[in-house]
Amino acid sequence: MAVDQAGSAAAPSPALPSPDPHASIPLRGRYAGHLHLDETITPVLRTDVDVAAYVRRGSARLEVDTAQLTAEAPLAEDVRLVLGVLQRLESSALAESRAMLATSTGNEARITAFLATWMVDRFWQSRALRDLLTGDHPTDRPAPFHRPGVAQALRRLHVDRLQPLLSPLWTGLGGEAVPAGHMARMAIQEASLQAALEILSRQVTGEARRVLEVVVERHQAAVDFFTAEAIARVTRSRRESALARLVLSLGSPLEAGGVPDPDLSAALAVLGGSARDRAALHRARYEITRLLPGPDLPDPHLGSLPRSEV
């Protein structure tokens, strides 16, 4: 208690009222309801995809009846070649996520929450395709039919040694627009994988067809998420759409972890055998590229296939 100069007790000072923390919340416009946002900070993007439900769903191994596979006719050589390419593309999730999480994309909570389950999904999907080729073997891996060339070796060196060093620079230049490029790349990769697996499932029978149809269905959640994220970002700002175009021009989503597969061209020739199938492969990319500024942005690996209506 305070005491005045005369020695008598002084009345306590009235407490100052606490400031209203909500007084500065914008009530109208783009930032309505956000306390600490202004024009310098991009609001958190929330699409209609239920990420929490996807995470709760979990993931588990996709069983393959290898005994039934052995009893059936062996897979044709061209089918095995395509399966090997798709299996290696499925198994590239860790490399793809490393490229994303080392940049500002790793600051997006919804994306990182999705990726945590998505990487497990892709692992089991790649394992199911591997089981179709090697059986339930703990270490066997399907080897490419063609030897990697100098271009593949140099690209592997870049991805393993230089890309981690360039990620901070990439984040500094791109900032909050970087996730738009990553989401566009993954939307095309997931849609392309799903389309390729569906095409291949029509070329096989029995247990192989059943497994491929299951993997096709399992891809739908990732197609929905990455496509929704990519479209929402590239349509909300020109900067994000321009950066998405830059990312797609630097490397094809069909290259597993940024490294082209030595069998990729041969696999696409098998997959693109009909106009219907070529259209499906082109459409997987066009869903995103149609929204980007500038002329059409074709995939270099699809360039050898006749152009079909999308």
Place of tokens 């790349």: 185
**pLDDT lower than 70: segments of the chain:** 1-43, 155, 158-161, 164, 167, 170, 172, 306-310
List the domain boundaries for the chain: 67-302
> What sign for the dihedral angle of Cα 253, 256, 257, 258?
negative
Q: Compute CA distances 259 → 106, 155, 182, 208, 282, whole Å.
A: 22, 6, 16, 27, 20
The model carries a pTM of 0.81
Chain-centroid distance of CA 185 in Å reads 6
**Amino acid residing at 208:** A
Token output for 116:
């945590």
Residue 141 is predicted with a pLDDT of: 77
* pLDDT for res 292: 94
pLDDT the model gives residue 35: 47
Q: If we measure between CA atoms, which residue out of 109, 285, 124, 270 comes closest to residue 189?
A: 285
Distance CA 123, CA 117 (A): 10
The CA distance from 7 to 2, in Å, is 10
Long-range contacts of 304-309 (CB under 8 A, 24+ apart): 304/265, 304/268, 304/269, 305/268, 305/269, 305/272, 305/278, 305/281, 306/272, 306/275, 306/278, 307/278, 307/282, 308/275, 308/276, 308/278, 308/279, 308/282, 309/279
What is the Cα–Cα distance from 117 to 95, expressed in whole angstroms? Answer: 15
User: Residue 190 in contact with residue 226, Cβ under 8 Å?
Assistant: yes
| Alpha-carbon span 135 to 309, nearest angstrom | 38
Q: Report the C-alpha gap between 264 and 254 in whole angstroms.
A: 8
Three-state SS at 70: helix
Q: Single out the residue of 214, 217, 221 nearest to residue 187, CA to CA.
A: 221
Through-space distance between the first and last CA atoms of the chain, rounded to whole angstroms = 81
Q: Residue 257: which region, alpha, beta or left (left: phi > 0; alpha: psi -120 to 50)?
A: left
